Amino acid sequence: MTVGLFIPCYIDQFYPNAAIATLTLLKKLGVNVVYPPKQTCCGQPMANSGFEHLTQGCNDLFTDNFAEFDYIVSPSGSCVLHIKDHLHAQGKKEEAIQIRKKIYELTEFLTDVLKVEKLTASFPHKVGLHQSCHGQRGLMLAQMTELVDRPYSKPMQLLNMVEGLELVKLNRPDECCGFGGTFCVAEEAVSVKMGKDRVADHLLNGAEYITAADMSCLMHMEGILRRQKSKVKVIHIAEILNAEAPVAATGTTAANSNKPLNA
Amino acid sequence: MTSRAQILARVKENQPELKPLPPAELILSENWGKTPDTVQQQPASANAGQTLHNLEQFRSVLTTIGGALIEVPSYGEILEYLKEHYQAEQRIISTLPELSSIAEPGWENNDPHSLENVDLAIISAHFGVAENAALWITEDLMQQRVAPFICQQLAVVVSKNEILATMHDAYARIGEAEYGFGAFIAGPSKTADIEQSLVLGAHGPKGMTVFLIG
Amino acid sequence: MGTGTKDHAQLSDVFNEDEARVNWHDETLWFVRAKRDKAAHNIPEWEMLREIASQIKDNVLSDLHSYLLEFEANAQENGITVHWAADGEEHNRIVRQILKENGVDRIVKSKSMLTEECHLNEYLQQHDIEVIDTDLGERIVQLAEEPPSHIVLPCIHKKKEEIGELFHEHLGTPEGMSDPVFLTAAARVHLREKFITRRAAITGVNFAVAETGEFVVCTNEGNADMGAHLADVHIACMGIEKLVPQRKHLSVFLRLLARSATGQPITTYSSHFKKPRPRQTMHIVLVDNGRTKQLGRPDFRNSLKCIRCGACMNTCPVYRRSGGHSYHTAIAGPIGSILAPNLDMKQYADLPFASTLCGSCTNVCPVKINIHEQLYKWRQVIVKEGHADPAKSIAMKAMEFTLSSPSVYKIAGKTGRMVMKYAPFMVNNKLNLWYNQREMPEPPKQSFGEWYKQQDFSKEKTN
């Protein structure tokens, strides 16, 4: 099995550690991962702004980069959802359809494809899980509070495998943080207010870290936390799932020190 | 072209290809709203169990929505209750011949505005619905349509054996019945328009008592 | 509406100047959402009910022509006069004409979002006809000379102290009195006098049954019934999409409506009007006002399934923090944002963008309207029709150029990481709009792509 790693543009540029953790974690789990170097963006920022007609370049590039892989995995629910819903490639219709079927957000790839039941990670902290909307309501990574249906949560299932990690209960477990792509600047007042309220829920319930399967929500909440000079940090879920037990302070960087498990 | 013709033409032009209605048995599904244990039982005991479940649910929901429930064996106890709780000078109207001794006669044919100062109206309902404590009352049981709305207090008599489980059962019962006006009434008139604070007695009755008879 | 030419974002800026009030508004509506959740979770077959309701409404829209004819014939058979109005203006004229024929110049009206949409009150008042809104919330906003901010909770934006002041001024209640029980009692007395003295009543319509020609009006206060049963003339105004095929279908919708709206198991009154009282006349005005146009838009037609429960507003994190008036249209919130562009795409071009596309609206919708997907689709239509901000269009073209080319992207990244304004969501380089209230991410030394290039993974390929 060869997995194509799709690292969304803003993670590539601003949060490389989330991408490194994703890569390392997948390798740790025995997956053969390839990062196609010519990737840029899924086109979502333009499409959500009403400019889907300008995303053809992104679509074609994406299809060229990823058509060859068995699976495509990305640490961003939002970008994955966009590809799943909207990828159309010129002259490569079938390839695009296949990509839409074989692209996975990281946590669902771990629970549904790799069927991970055990992790060696350790993260002895109180953690608040932010359920990013596109992952939750779009990819259905977790049950939604609006629906009358059985509860489940793929990210939570994984976080519960992490040693020492304590999940905090939130008053509003799946309210939007207000990032919303261009919404964050086009509707600044509401976006910021939503972010402040989301952060406050985590703080109120004692979170030391806020995690999510979408870095964009975390970037928005991090901006608010840091402006408030809060000690609470944001961390991508891949970094928690990849966190080594703090046994010896050898200072190894994760990416170089892993032995792949048997696939 | 009249607006009617124009609207109809545009509807015809723009409506999509016909989509079927969902299967009728789904809409009147008789197992909905019922407790799983009663559904699984044998028909006879299931009915008894269901009736009891319906009664309990009706009582609990009615209380939640601000109504009061009084179980009575017969009209005699209703009369006693009313004599105890209402004074002679209060204006009481009723559509029930059994209660004519305490109600004023002849109001049915007066101008509805004349009911403005009615303190209590006592009428009957065809049946009640357990899931929402609504009572189905048609015009013939109201005599005057405004009666159950304009009174300060409303009392409704319903047979203990006539509490159905859900709205699906309710409409199955109503069937093709003929009426000029009919209403589901669930509890006293209420509003929460001011800061979501629930207040009973918006425009209609401030209180509603259900006499469960039988 | 007194909001001038401000768009949703600008009106939200104003709303957010008082943060404590935003918190109060958010929490009040979240409380309603929580009640809705509790009511829904009490019904194990809830999701199936939504599906059935959705299918019934899909059927209605696909066969609306026959249902309208069937309804009209049955209503006429029942002794109801049926009128057809192509738009809001015609609707208003019809209502005025009926009142004129009956010599009525003072009326009571229960809640009808359709009459709000048609601006009936303003029209009648211009023609010297007095309209008293009898729903408590609507009466309050009427006294305040404001439009409703919510379709189910018209004055949810008002604090009880403000209502106390209004009542002091208009109804003569003691100054400083703001207890909801007291204020409701005062309104009861005030409005009872109107019910007793007005000879014509207007109501809305929640559902109309094609099979029987009857229509159902749902209220908690009993104001529709007080008005209609005391009046000589009852005018019921409805959009043509309010039909259900058969009486038994009401069971599905009455189970869903109040639970979705307020968390009640049913509204206090679900009144089925089939025939006028003796000596009473009953009219139904069937209104198009853009509905047939929406019916012809495949991507948007199912917005006509809406039963006006308001659940999408209560759950919407943006609505709760921007208030109903920020939508500058009769029907606010997510559903309003997909209905309004159909009526005037230019005037309401901002509304589909007043959302994070979080999807909660779609999940609470009792008739399963894919609201957030339609918001996305309206954005595409609005941009294509040329209603986007020109600066944004230029920014988007620049973004397309950058993101379509890996080499341009890499160069932009090197410089852009230091200055976040080139991040793709920073439309129009509005960097300050991020930085005003949020810190920027600390730029890393290298991008993931640069890091990846430096790694030597050759040793790993052991299995």
How high is the pLDDT of residue B30?
A: 60
For residue B117, which amino acid is it? Answer: N
Residues C205, C166 within the same domain: yes
Which residue in the set A185, A189, A256 is minimally distant from C427, CB to CB? Answer: A185
| pLDDT attached to residue C392 | 75
The answer on A32 and A97 residing in a single domain is yes
* B42 contacts chain C (CB < 8 A): no
Q: What is the DSSP string of chain A?
A: -EEEE---HHHHHH-HHHHHHHHHHHHHTT-EEE--TT----SHHHHHTT-GGG-HHHHHHHHHHHTT-SEEEES-HHHHHHHHHH---TT-HHHHHHHHHHEEEHHHIIIIIS-------B--SEEEEP--HIIIIIS-SB--TTS-S---BHHHHHHTTSBT-EEPPPSSTT---S-TTTHHHHTHHHHHHHHHHHHHHHHHTT-SEEEES-HHHHHHHHHHHHHTT-S-EEEEHHHHHTPPPSS------HHHHPPPPP-
In a domain, residue A157? The reply is yes
Give the three-class secondary structure for C245: coil
Does residue C107 sit in the same domain as residue C225?
A: yes
Are residues C178 and C316 both part of a single domain?
A: no
Mind listing the pLDDT tens digit for each residue in A112-124?
Answer: 999 999 999 999 9
Identify the domain containing residue C407 by its residue range: 391-452
Looking at residue C406, its pLDDT comes to: 81
Count of pairs with CB atoms under 8 A, one residue in B, one in C: 245
Residues of chain B contacting residue C181, judged by C-beta atoms under 8 Å apart: 197, 199
Is it the case that residue A249 has pLDDT exceeding 60? no
Q: Which residues of B touch C155 (CB under 8 A)?
A: 193-194
Q: Please state whether at least 3 CB pairs lie below 8 Å between chains B and A.
A: no
Whether residue A20 is found in the same domain as residue A107 = yes
Chain C nearest-CA residue for A180: C356
User: In the listed set C355, C388, C421, which residue is the last one of a domain according to the structure?
Assistant: C388
**Average pLDDT, whole number, for chain A?**
91
Judge if C130 and C268 occupy the same domain: yes
**Alpha-carbon distances of C257 from B22, C14, C306, rounded to whole Å:** 19, 33, 10
| Nearest residue in chain C measured CA to CA from B207 | C268
**Any domain includes A250:** no
Q: Is C79 helix (H, G, I), strand (E, B) or coil?
A: coil
Tell me which of C340, C362, C388 is where a domain ends.
C388
**Within this chain, do residues A67 and A171 fall inside the same structural domain, yes or no?**
no
- The answer on A178 and A145 residing in a single domain is yes
Which of C12, C384, C463 has the CB atom closest to A262's CB atom?
A: C463
| Interchain proximity C84–B7, CB inside 8 Å | yes
A124, amino acid identity = P
Output the domain CATH number for residue A179. 3.40.50
- Asked if A98 has any chain C CB less than 8 Å from its own CB, the reply is no
Minimum mean pLDDT range among A40-49, B147-156, C57-66: A40-49
> Does residue B87 belong to the interface with chain C, where contact is any CB pair within 8 Å?
no
Q: What is the pLDDT along chain C (463 residues), one digit of tens a residue?
A: 444 679 999 999 999 999 999 999 999 999 999 999 999 999 999 999 999 999 999 999 999 999 999 999 999 999 999 999 999 999 999 999 999 999 999 999 999 999 999 999 999 999 999 999 999 999 999 999 999 999 999 999 999 999 999 999 999 999 999 999 999 999 999 999 999 999 999 999 999 999 999 999 999 999 999 999 999 999 999 999 999 999 999 999 999 999 999 999 999 999 999 999 999 999 999 999 999 999 999 999 999 999 999 999 999 999 999 999 999 999 999 999 999 999 999 999 999 999 999 999 999 999 999 999 999 999 999 999 999 877 777 777 777 777 777 877 777 766 555 445 556 566 555 567 888 899 888 888 899 999 999 998 876 654 4
A102 and A134 both lie in a single domain: no
Check whether A255 has a pLDDT greater than 50. no
Which chain B positions have a beta carbon within 8 Å of C247's beta carbon? 171, 174, 176
**Do C383 and C403 belong to one domain?**
no
Looking at chain A, the whole-number percentage of residues with pLDDT higher than 90 is 79
Q: What is the number of residues in chain C?
A: 463
Are B and C close enough to touch, i.e. 3+ CB pairs under 8 angstroms? yes
Residue from the list B14, B18, B112 with its beta carbon closest to the beta carbon of C292:
B14
Higher pLDDT, A48 or C424: A48
The pair of structure tokens assigned to C446 is 């290298």
Closest residue in A to C44 (Cα–Cα): A148
Number of domains in chain C: 3
**pLDDT for B197-208, tens place per residue?**
999 999 999 999
3 state DSSP class of B177: coil
Task: Confirm whether A251 is domain-assigned.
Answer: no
Q: Give the distance from residue B72's alpha carbon to the nearest chain C alpha carbon, in angstroms.
A: 24
Residues of B in contact with C21 (CB under 8 A): none
What is the length of chain B? 214
- All residues of chain B having their beta carbon less than 8 Å from the beta carbon of residue C137 are 191, 193
User: Are C404 and C263 in a shared domain?
Assistant: no
Pairing of strands C215-219, C207-209: antiparallel
Percentage above 70 pLDDT, chain B:
91
pLDDT single digits (tens) A167-184: 999 999 999 999 998 899
CA distance B17 to chain C (A): 6
Q: How far apart are CA A124 and CA A246, in angstroms?
A: 9
Sheet with strand B127-129: strands edge to edge:
B163-164, B127-129, B134-138, B181-185, C269-273, C215-219, C207-209, C243-244
ipTM of the complex: 0.94
Categorize the per-residue pLDDT at B59 as very low, low, confident or very high, splitting at 50, 70 and 90.
very high
Residue C72 lies in a domain: yes
Give me the pLDDT at residue A41, please: 85
Q: Where does the pLDDT of residue A244 fall: very low under 50, low under 70, confident under 90, or very high at 90 and above?
A: confident
C8 and C103, same domain (yes or no)? no
Q: Where are the alpha helices (DSSP H) in chain B?
A: 3-14, 24-27, 36-40, 43-64, 75-85, 139-142, 147-150, 167-174
CA–CA separation, A179 vs A195, rounded Å?
7
Alpha helices in C317-359 (DSSP H): 317-320, 333-343
pLDDT at C463: 42
User: Does A254 reside within a domain?
Assistant: no
pLDDT at B94 over 60: yes
A68 and A165, same domain (yes or no):
no
The full length of chain A comes to 263
Is residue A260 domain-resident?
no
For residue C459, being part of any structural domain is answered with no
Q: Which two tokens stand for residue A187?
A: 């509707």
- d(Cα C222, Cα B186) in Å, to the nearest integer? 11
Smallest CA-to-CA distance from C18 within C225, C251, C322, C293 is with C322
> Closest approach of chain C CAs to the CA of A205, in angstroms?
18
Whether C461 is in a domain gets the answer no
Q: Are residues C268 and C305 in the same domain?
A: no
Chain B contact present for C299, CB below 8 A: no
The reply to whether C69 falls in a domain is yes
Q: Give the Cα separation of B57 and A33 in Å (integer).
A: 58
B157-161: average pLDDT: 97
Q: How far apart are CA B149 and CA A219, in angstroms?
A: 56
Q: What are phi and psi of B92, to 5 degrees?
A: -120, 130
Asked if C250 and C299 count as a contact pair (C-beta separation under 8 A), the reply is no
Instruction: Give SS3 for B93.
Output: strand
Domains and CATH numbers, chain B: 32-213 (3.40.50.10420)
Give dist(CA C150, CA B93) in Å, integer.
38
**Using CA atoms, how far apart are residues B193 and C140, in angstroms rounded to an integer?**
9
| Final residue in a domain of this structure, among A60, A92, A113 | A113
Is residue C134 in some structural domain? yes
C458 to chain A: closest CA residue? A256
Do A102 and A157 lie in one domain? The reply is no
Q: Which of A191, A227, A260 has its CB closest to that of C439?
A: A227
CATH code, domain with C185: 3.40.50.10420
- Do A132 and A78 share a domain, yes or no? no
Full-model pTM:
0.94
B45 has a pLDDT exceeding 80: no
Considering the domain architecture, whether residues C225 and C308 belong to the same structural domain is answered as: no
Q: Mapping DSSP to helix (H, G, I), strand (E, B) and coil, where does residue C83 land? A: strand
Q: In this structure, what DSSP letter does residue C249 have?
A: G
In terms of domains, do C227 and C114 share one?
A: yes
More confident site: A102 or A38: A102
Nearest-angstrom CA–CA distance, C325 and A233: 36
Q: Which residue of A has its CA nearest to C438?
A: A223
Q: Report residue B32's pLDDT band, with 50, 70 and 90 as the boundaries.
A: low
Alpha carbon distances (Å) from C336 to B81, C32, C237, C253: 51, 19, 19, 20
In a domain, C86, yes or no: yes
Residues of C within 8 A of A43 (CB-CB) are 403
A172 lies in which domain range? 126-241
Whether A188 and A142 map to the same domain: the answer is yes
Chosen from A7, A11, A14 to mutate, greatest number of chain C CBs within 10 A: A14
Give C268-323 as a DSSP string.
Answer: SEEEEE-SPPTT-EEEEEEE-TTHHHHHT-TTTGGGGG-----HHHHH-HHHHTT-
Nearest chain C residue to B4 by CA distance is C84
* Arithmetic mean of pLDDT, B125-144: 98
Residues from chain A contacting residue C321 (CB–CB below 8 Å): 190, 193-194, 197
Task: Answer whether C229 sits within 8 Å of B144, measured CB to CB.
Answer: yes
Residues C414 and C436 in one domain: yes
Q: Using the beta-carbon criterion (under 8 Å), do A222 and C383 form an inter-chain contact?
A: no
The values of phi and psi at residue C409, to 5°, are -60, -40
With bands split at pLDDT 50, 70 and 90, how would you rate the model's confidence at B31?
Answer: low
Tell me, yes or no, whether C120 lies in a domain: yes
Those of residues 172-201 in A touching chain C at CB distance below 8 A are 172, 174-176, 178-195, 197
> Same structural domain for residues C317 and C284?
no
Chains that touch A (3 or more CB pairs under 8 A): C
User: Which of A82, A113, A144 is the endpoint of a domain?
Assistant: A113
- Could you tell me which chains touch chain B, where touching means 3 or more CB pairs under 8 A? C
Q: Are A214 and A135 in contact (CB under 8 A)?
A: yes
Contacts of C376 in chain A (CB under 8 A): 47-48
From A113, A138, A164, the end of a domain falls on A113
Q: Is any Cβ of chain B less than 8 angstroms from the Cβ of C288?
A: yes
Tell which residue, C236, C277, C226, has the closest CA to residue B180: C277
Contact C233, C200 (CB under 8 A): yes
Closest residue of chain C to B150, computed from CA coordinates: C226
Domain tally, chain A? 2
SS (H, E, C) A106-133: HHHHHHHHCCCCCCCCECCCEEEECCCH
CA distance C178 to C185: 12
pLDDT band at B38 (very low <50, low <70, confident <90, very high): very low
Residue A68 lies inside a defined structural domain of this protein? yes
Residue C234, min C-alpha distance to chain B (Å):
13
Q: Which amino acid is at B131?
A: E
Say how many CA atoms lie within 13 Å of B123 toward its Cβ: 26
Is position C457 within any domain?
no
Residue B46 contacts C, CB cutoff 8 Å: no
List Cβ neighbours of B76 (8 Å cut-off, separation of 6 or more).
none
Note whether B202 contacts C292, CB cutoff 8 Å: no
**B19 → closest Cβ in C62, C85, C273:** C62
- Judge whether C43 is closer than 8 Å to chain B, CB to CB: yes
Cα C123 from Cα B183, distance rounded (Å)? 32
pLDDT of B39 over the 70 cut = no
